Amino acid sequence: MKNRQLLLSSTLAAAILFAIPNVQAADLTTTVQLLTERVDYLEQRLINSDLDNDGYTPAQGDCDDSDATINPATTTPEVGGDGLDNNCDGLIDNVPLSNDADNDGLTDVDELGTYHTDPAKKDTDGDSLAAIGKWENYQCNCTQKCTNWTCTSYTTTCSTCQRWVETAAAVDMGDGVEVFNYGTDPTRKDTDGDGINDGTEIRNKTNPLNSASK
């Protein structure tokens, strides 16, 4: 907010300065002094003005003077995942900037306000890296019958069945991994909408951001 005010002050001051007639480019000292005075004047006007009419100026602790619901005495609930410091106490949603409750690489503040992910869940959309495995044949006991890939009811016929053998289990990618490593949407299981889970695409070395890559 402060930087925005200063930028506005500087812009207004510069506009006023160049509108003043007979300012000589050679008189650099006078030009700089005049510009500085204008910036100081306008900045003071800004920090002491209550632009959103909420009863508080920036000088009195209003951290967003463009929104009347944001001020040191606001009745707006501080928590709720809006990503705002509603009561100007330096905390967003009452969560310190360093907190990462689910240890997914994203701060709780960023999860709530920027990525809209669940700060209590490491992998919000549950699009884990698919398990690596393969079908392998195996011989059923001769007193069993093979049904739906498993040996079940008893029979006197020997059957060859198949079973899925995992060589690597499914792994949660984590919201931070999606954001920083793959650029996928941590709130959607299938970022590119091609019907294939992001984690499956990554493990299969196809592009989870391109629906034509399958």
Q: What is the pLDDT of residues 33-76, one digit of tens each?
A: 778 877 777 777 777 788 888 888 888 888 888 888 888 888 76
Residue 69 lies in a domain: no
Residue 209 lies in a domain: no
Residue 182 lies in a domain: no
Q: If you average pLDDT over residues 139-162, what whole number do you get? A: 57
Q: What is the pLDDT of residue 204?
A: 85
Residue 113, CB-side half-sphere exposure with 13 Å CA sphere? 17
Q: What is the 3-state secondary structure (H, E, C) of 108-162?
A: HHHHHHHHCCCCCCCCCCCCCECCEEEEEEEECCCCEEEECCEEEEECCCCCEEE
In terms of C-beta distances under 8 Å and separation of at least 24 residues, what long-range contacts does 98-104 make, across chains too? 102/175, 104/174, 104/175, 104/176, 104/177
Residue 22 lies in a domain: yes
Residues 6 or more apart whose CB falls under 8 angstroms from that of 172 comprise 122, 123, 126, 128, 129
Residue 26 phi/psi, 5-degree rounding, is: -70, -25
Q: What is the pLDDT of residue 19?
A: 52
Is the pLDDT confidence value at 15 over 50?
Answer: yes
Digit-coded pLDDT (tens) for 86-110: 888 877 766 665 688 888 988 888 8
Is the pLDDT confidence value at 128 over 50?
Answer: yes
Q: What is the pLDDT of residue 124?
A: 93
What does the alpha-carbon distance between residue 101 and residue 29 come to, in Å, rounded to a whole number? Answer: 54
Q: What is the pLDDT of residue 33?
A: 78
Give the domain extent around 21: 2-47
Residue 155 lies in a domain: yes
Q: Write down the residue that tokens 């792994």 correspond to.
A: 171
Give the residue ranges of DSSP H helices in 20-103. 28-47
Q: If you average pLDDT over residues 134-151, what whole number do you get? A: 62
Q: What is the pLDDT of residue 3?
A: 45
Residue 173 lies in a domain: no
Q: Write down the residue that tokens 């650029």 correspond to.
A: 183
Residue 84 lies in a domain: no
Give, in order, the Cα–Cα distances in Å from 193 to each of 117, 127, 154, 160: 19, 13, 45, 38
Q: If you average pLDDT over residues 134-145, what whole number do you get? A: 64
Overall domain count for the chain = 2
Is residue 11 a contact partner of residue 39, using CB atoms and an 8 Å limit? no
Q: Which of 84, 197, 190, 187 is nearest to 130 (CA)?
A: 197
Q: What is the pLDDT of residue 60?
A: 87
Residue 55 lies in a domain: no
